[in-house]
Amino acid sequence: KDVQKEREPHVYLSKEEVKEKIQSYNSSVTDKLKMTLNANGIYTGFIKVQLELCRPITVQSSQSQGRCAPSNQETAFYLPDGCVNTLHISSTNTVREVIEALLKKFFVADNPAKFALYKRCHKEDQVYTCKLSDREHPLYLRLVAGPKTEMLSFVLREHETGEVMWEAFSIPELQNFLRILDKEENDQLQVLKSRYAAYRGKLEEALRGVLKPG
């Protein structure tokens, strides 16, 4: 169930409160992904982000990585649904920075503005999904919720159809999308042709049985 809930107020914690929460968090961690508090009050830790992307992404090849301009060394394809990636971030990192880091880790050439980070919460036997604003801090949300992903998890999705910034797509990207759609359409057409050819064969076989002289 997806809902746009009101943003939970960000509670500013003292350094001592942060230290206590991190100690409590680390005592509950089961996967060794603990948080570390630095002397300047900034803490670092890990978050896991599940990818739920409906549209294909554009990935740079090894030859074109590091270039800013689009090239023909980019390939568009669908990521497996439910893929989970772990990021090491700090308490100062914003949602927008997390999205950019995640795309960079996968060598994704798409504009980060096409994507949004959601938090998924489990409350009273229901699942609530809420889009995070670009200025929120995921590691703070992780610290407050605790390490259990059943209580809070992060999901990367595209913006809703009405929110898509189509101007963020390059011409090569759009052309790649069209090629993928053409291929999917052709694959579906071949499946339908094969299915109806099988039906036709069975009908003709049945007719021959009926019309066969007794």
Q: What is the pLDDT of residue 87?
A: 94
Burial class (CB in 10 A: 0-12, 13-18, 19+), 183: exposed
- Would you list the DSSP string of 6-17? PPPP-----HHH
Yes or no: say if 138 and 93 are a contact pair by the CB < 8 Å rule: yes
Q: What is the pLDDT of residue 72?
A: 53
Count of residues making up the chain: 214
For residue 116, list its beta bridge partners: 157
In degrees and rounded to multiples of 5, residue 202 shows phi and psi of -65, -40
Region of 46 please: left (phi>0), alpha (psi -120 to 50) or beta.
beta
Q: What is the pLDDT of residue 5?
A: 46
Q: What is the pLDDT of residue 214?
A: 56
CB within 8 Å of 159: residues ≥ 6 apart: 114, 115, 116, 165
pTM of structure: 0.65
Q: What is the pLDDT of residue 195?
A: 87
CA distances from 107 to 101, 104, 166 (A): 10, 5, 21
Q: Chunked in runs of 10, what are the mean pLDDT values of the chain (214 residues)?
A: 48 86 94 92 94 81 49 68 89 94 86 89 80 91 91 87 59 74 85 88 82 65
